[in-house]
């Protein structure tokens, strides 16, 4: 059984029999997150792209826990230069790890890391979505993305048990496009993410969930978990 919990913005924690895996650990500076970055224990960090509100506390978490960071190639390289143990991947590729299988899908968005004190933006390659499979269950984290028609193909090729889709609009899909994405992906349950962290992405997750057909919507509160 997989235990999956939501922790604000796009932060998702997956607990398997073999590992604790966190996706896009934007903890420090995230007013919605309930986690303590200094106390959190993880074995693996999965990253969808290089924006600061997704990379978040990755370097500190990875170093303190000796955790493996899995990310698109350019982002993995950038983080490896900071002393982090990484496994680089890219879109369309999959790899079987001891704790499960990771496959990266495309995502239509940007990917860069901003160093504000230097007024510098570091390009971190293509953004991605993540298909994670363990214990015969598959989770899809779409990252930050617009709606794109190949979501139909992802849904046709892969039996998705739980999907995390951004609904915030402005920077990602809004609720209407995310509803279409949910239909195309054919996931059993759909959790809205990437909303309400900042004023410009304020949305009602319950309205989004209610608009999905077949009672697929699963608007998890911060800190709430779901068992697969």
Question: Is the residue at 171 inside a domain?
Answer: yes
214: pLDDT confidence band, cut at 50, 70 and 90?
confident
CATH number assigned to the domain comprising residue 21: 3.60.15.10
**Contact indicator for 9, 52 with CB cutoff of 8 Å:** no
14: pLDDT confidence band, cut at 50, 70 and 90?
very high
Question: Is the residue at 155 inside a domain?
Answer: yes
Give the Cβ contact number of residue 210 at 10 Å: 11
Question: Is the residue at 52 inside a domain?
Answer: yes
Q: What is the rounded average pLDDT of the residues 77-96?
A: 98
Residue 215's pLDDT is 86
Q: Do the bridges between strand 44-46 and strand 68-72 make them parallel or antiparallel, or are there none, so unpaired?
A: parallel
Residue 113's pLDDT is 97
pTM assigned to the model = 0.97
pLDDT digits (tens, 9 = 90+) for 139-148: 999 999 999 9
Q: What is the rounded average pLDDT of the residues 119-133?
A: 98
Question: Is the residue at 226 inside a domain?
Answer: no
E strands present in 12-143:
12-15, 20-23, 44-46, 68-72, 86-89, 94-97, 100-106, 112-115, 120-123, 128-134, 137-141
E strands present in the chain:
3-6, 12-15, 20-23, 44-46, 68-72, 86-89, 94-97, 100-106, 112-115, 120-123, 128-134, 137-141, 162-166, 189-193, 225-227
Residue 221's pLDDT is 97
The percent of residues above 90 in pLDDT, for the chain, comes to: 98
Question: Is the residue at 223 inside a domain?
Answer: no
Q: What is the rounded average pLDDT of the residues 47-61?
A: 98
Question: Is the residue at 138 inside a domain?
Answer: yes
Provide the domain count of the chain. 1
Question: Is the residue at 201 inside a domain?
Answer: yes
d(CA 164, CA 92): 19
Question: Is the residue at 168 inside a domain?
Answer: yes
pLDDT digits (tens, 9 = 90+) for 21-51: 999 999 999 999 999 999 999 999 999 999 9
Question: What domain range is 99 assigned to?
Answer: 3-218
d(CA 219, CA 39): 26
């Amino acid at each position: 059984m997989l235990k999956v919990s939501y922790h604000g913005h796009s932060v998702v924690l997956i607990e398997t029999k073999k590992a604790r895996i966190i996706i896009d650990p934007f903890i420090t500076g995230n007013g919605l997150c309930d986690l303590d970055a200094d106390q959190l224990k993880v074995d693996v960090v999965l990253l969808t792209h290089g924006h600061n509100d997704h990379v978040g506390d990755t370097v500190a978490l990875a170093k303190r826990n000796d955790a493996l960071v899995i990310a698109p190639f350019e982002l993995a390289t950038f983080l490896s230069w900071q002393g982090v143990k990484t496994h680089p991947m890219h879109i369309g590729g999959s790899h079987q790890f001891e704790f499960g299988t990771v496959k990266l899908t495309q995502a239509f968005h940007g990917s860069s890391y901003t160093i504000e004190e230097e007024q510098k933006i570091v390009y971190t390659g293509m953004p991605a979505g993540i298909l994670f499979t363990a214990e015969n269950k598959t989770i899809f984290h779409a990252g930050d993305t617009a709606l794109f028609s190949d979501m139909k193909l992802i849904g046709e090729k892969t039996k998705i048990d739980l999907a995390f889709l951004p609904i915030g609009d402005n920077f990602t899909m809004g609720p209407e496009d995310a509803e279409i994405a949910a239909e195309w992906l054919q996931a059993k349950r759909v959790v809205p993410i990437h909303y309400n962290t900042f004023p410009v992405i304020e949305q009602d997750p319950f309205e989004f969930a209610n608009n999905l057909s077949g009672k697929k919507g699963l608007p998890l509160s911060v800190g709430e978990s779901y068992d697969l």
